[in-house]
Structure 1
Amino acid sequence: MRLHRKNFHFMSILPLLEPVTRHWQCGCLRANVFTVPHRLRPYRCLSTDSPAPRPHIGPNTVEVLGHSYPRDSQTNVTAKILSKVGRDLHNKPHHPLWLIKERIKSHFYRSYIGRWGNPLFSVHDNLSPVVTVEQNFDSLLIPPDHPSRKKGDNYYLNHSHMLRAHTSAHQRDLVRSGLDCFLVAGDVYRRDEIDASHYPVFHQMEGVKLFSNHELFARVEHGEELSLFESHGRRTPQKQETHTLEAVKLVEFDLKQTLTRLIRHLFGEELEIRWVECYFPFTHPSFEMEVRFQGDWLEVLGCGVMEQQLVNSAGASNKMGWAFGLGLERLAMVLYGIPDIRLFWSEDERFLKQFHLPDIDDPVIFQPLSKYPPLLNDISFWLPPEGYAENDFYDLVRSIGGDLVEKVTLVDQFTHPKTQKVSHCYRIIYRHMERTLSQEEVRVIHQAIEQAAEQELGVEGRY
């Protein structure tokens, strides 16, 4: 009898779901590993609004945003990366990342209004990028042995603090502060390869929406008889063990409808969209949205139903909700035709003035600056017996060459047949965004990289 009643109520919500879901194309299952992606009391300690001393790495401490963090064996943040902290490109008026953020914010403000006429979603775009390791990983249920925690992939100030790897690091604390609907935007930091679409500092925007029992089922026939939660349930590919299937389907519907409206607002109403099932440690079920853009399917965001354990830990155990996250650079590069991620950090007025628009929704396509010629140099070395990581080398190149380095590619690997020593050969492409580089300039930088690689990474040069 109980099973029959549940089936009856699930069927009763189908008319609410059908108008939107019938237009979505379902993708096949794909197992993604999360690599993507502060205490809020008192709030004033977290804001990057007020001026602070320039970040600095001393012999024993890392100074950043007016706070001092003792160095230890986990410290791996570099001066080059710290120099980006506080730049806040997403808050710089008329910057392309600011344009994208403001378009998303404006859409949510206009589309989702509370009962008193106020915007339903609050926006937080000035939270400090310095977070605890617990906030960045444990609060999101990321296991202690998960590869996303690796020192080689993150920028640690010490064992307990780091530069956030995703804006999700603030999720639990914002929910704990009493917020049910919010957007977070900010700079995030990850050690990564070097090419035109990857940079160790980029910008994310994410959203969270929580539902009470009444809020979710108010429009459902006999909704007062339905519940968010069930006892003795089991986890399936469609739901978590504590959630009812009816609740999950409605939350999933609201999530996909919200994001479909957002992305079509940005790309156009005729945009073709499909959903691909995936895996994140902090949501289940989880999805990626892909859009048909210039003939190819392009992933633009990840999302899902929040893990109830995460919601419970934030003091909202009577609610369930959804969360999504997207990269601002990815959207800006696609929407505005920006070919190189380094351009976002350019101070060249020829770049910046193209985005001084009368209205944030005005269309604009980036007009390329003069393409200055590249200079290519190779570097070869024997790897040490242990402890070498490619991201360490990329970080070293970035620290010395800065934004003059356009791309680094591993072009050859060789294992000596007798000694079994391994050699790597990397090709480094140098190109200035605003002028022609000379061979002498590049030679000085390249030699500095060779010397630093031997001294800091323990490699043996083959120059």
Structure 2
Amino acid sequence: MAMLWKFMRVAKYSKTALSSKVKVRGIPTHSRHSSSKSVPSDFGASAPCSNTVELLGKSYPQDDYSNVTEKILSKVGKNLHNRKHHPLWLIKEQVKEHFYKHYLGRRGTPLFSVYDGLSPVVTVQQNFDSLLIPQNHASRRKEDNYYLNRDHMLRAHTSAHQWDLIHSGLDAFLAVGDVYRRDTIDNTHYPVFHQMEGVRLFSCHELFSSIKDGEGLQLFERGHRTAHKQECHTMEAVRLVEFNLKQVLTKLMTHIFGDAGAHDKIGWAFGLGLERLAMILYDIPDIRLFWSEDERFLKQFIGPHIWHKVKFQPLSRYPPLINDISFWLPSETYSQNDFYDLVRTIGGDLIEKVVLLDEFAHPKTKKVSHCYRIIYRHPERTLTQDEVHRIHQAIEESAVRELGVEGRF
């Protein structure tokens, strides 16, 4: 059960979250399908130039918010979750099959639609405003996101599509895709990973129809916000929705592992990290392996059906090479994620981990120094001291040039 709640996120939908002019009804029959029209992986992204970023056939003018790197752009359109027999594809298909089989509408058709080909380029309005995230919220920071410009970004979560899908008339759907966040560097974190978003909305009749004397119960009230509910929802509605979500996720986790707003609706939402699920299910030790082209990795997941048992057999464990880097910080505007992003850009998947070893403030000058340990390890071959030295030197030079640090090399 602890694992279940680790992957769960609850969202209770407010009556005022969306325009009252839009009525969300049942899913149209023609919409109950899996949308697999993916962004083509061979439609390349060009490196950022001085004025624009070319991505997926569109041009985005750069401004003071632009911070997406060539390394990140090279990942856009890979669509690992739609690559047959890839471990992320296996997890996605297993979850899809579970929802298709166990949640049916009145006519026996799947209740949940699946959308796994939505573009990862979204507007800031989609990623934040539509989810009622305040303008000054920390999650909007450049240090944590990849912006094409002030108006467009690489989605930080599949929740960026909730508003549009709900307004298209959907009450139950799964959205799957690659998401992008600037983050620390270790074997469980990567700037690109994959999420599955689940959303289910209920009308008053749907929620209370099976409850004794449910005719007198309501979804909304004029109350106040508490630690347990929003100010507009009744406690009865919140408890039923939370119970429903707990049942859904409990069944889903058991099935896999074994024993944004609407008018006059209430609902739940959850988010699953596909890499985290696959690492647990298949014993994959390093998140970088999901991007491997090594046949020794990929062929392990080819089988007769999506439920075939797989226990990852590690590739030869190559020795790490470790180098430290120390520098004085330029000012209070320095961000560790800027340094991590620079290291990733230069070292790519040769970087296994970056750890802040020491932080020192000079007693007289008050200048602050950071010392980082960078662990280099190739997942598929042995690195040489010479090639690591060249990469490490490039990181030192770029840190001085790009971040304005003062080297203590």
Shared fold, TM over 0.5:
yes
RMSD: 2.1
Letter aligned with residue 243 of structure 2 = F
Describe the shift of the 1:228–1:131 C-alpha distance in structure 2 as closer, same or farther (beyond 3 A): same
Residue identity matched to 2:234: T
Cα pair 1:454 1:460 within 8 Å, conserved: yes
Query: Which letter maps to 2:205?
Result: H
Q: 1:245 aligns with which of 215, 235, 242?
A: 235
**CA-to-aligned-CA distance 1:246-271 (integer Å, 9 cap, x gap):** 221211111111111001111112xx
Aligned partner of residue 199 in structure 2, secondary structure: strand
Distance 1:401-1:62 versus aligned 2 partners, 3 A rule: same
Matched, 1:129 2:120: yes
Question: How big is the shift at 1:58?
Answer: 1.8
Aligned to 1:407: 353
Specify whether residues 140 and 453 from structure 1 end up closer, same or farther in structure 2 by C-alpha distance, changes over 3 A only. same
**Once the two structures are superposed, what CA deviation does each residue of 1:232-285 show, in whole Å capped at 9, x if it has no partner?**
22222222222122221211111111111001111112xxxxxxxxxxxxxxxx
Counterpart of 1:328, as a letter, is L
Give the match for residue 283 of structure 1.
none
For residue 180 of structure 1, what is the aligned residue in structure 2?
A: 171
**Shift of the alpha carbon at 1:221?**
2.0
> What is the CA deviation profile of residues 166-212 of structure 1, one whole-angstrom value per residue up to 9, with x for unaligned ones?
00000011000000000011000000010111100000001000111
Task: Please list every run of 5 or more consecutive structure 1 residues that lacks an aligned counterpart in the other structure.
Answer: 1-22, 33-42, 270-309
Counterpart of 2:83? 92
Q: What is the deviation of 1:411? A: 1.1
CA distance in 1, matches of 2:82, 2:38: 13
Q: Please state how far the C-alpha of 1:49 moved relative to its aligned partner.
A: 4.6
- Determine the structure 2 residue equivalent to 1:341: 287
1:429 matched residue in structure 2: 375
Determine if the alignment matches structure 1 residue 193 to structure 2 residue 193. no
Report deviation, 1:116.
Answer: 1.3
Q: How does 1:302-341 map to 2 (within 5 A)?
A: 310-311=260-261, 316-341=262-287
- 2:299 is the alignment partner of 1:370: no
In the superposition, relative to structure 1, how do residues 388 and 26 fare at CA in structure 2: closer, same or farther (>3 Å)?
closer
Q: 2:142 aligns with which of 124, 131, 151?
A: 151
Within the candidate set 258, 263, 272, 2:253 is matched to 263
1:161 aligns with 2:107: no
- Higher normalized strand content (fraction of residues): 1
Name the CA distance, whole Å, in 2 between partners of 1:245 and 1:227. 10
Question: How far does residue 47 in structure 1 lie from its aligned partner after superposition?
Answer: 5.2
| Contact 2:99–2:112 under 8 Å retained in 1 | yes
Name the % identity: 69
The amino acid that maps onto 2:66 is T
Output the CA distance in 1 between the equivalents of 2:385 and 2:174. Answer: 47
Question: Matched residue of 2:166: which SS?
Answer: helix
- Counterpart of 1:255 in structure 2: which amino acid? L
Secondary structure, aligned partner of 1:56? coil
Structure 1 residue 24 displacement after superposition: 9.7
Conserved 8 A contact 1:55-1:85? no
The verdict on how the C-alpha distance between 1:25 and 1:446 changes in structure 2, with shifts beyond 3 A counting, is: closer
- Alpha-carbon distance in structure 1 between the residues aligned to 2:3 and 2:390: 53
The answer (yes or no) to whether the contact 1:49–1:126 under 8 Å persists in 2 is: no
> How many residue pairs align between the two structures?
381
Name 2:161's counterpart in structure 1: 170
Q: Which of 82, 97, 101 lines up with 2:73 in the alignment?
A: 82
SS in 1 for 2:389: helix
Match of 1:72 in 2: 63
Aligned equivalent of 1:297: none
* Structure 2 letter corresponding to 1:87: K
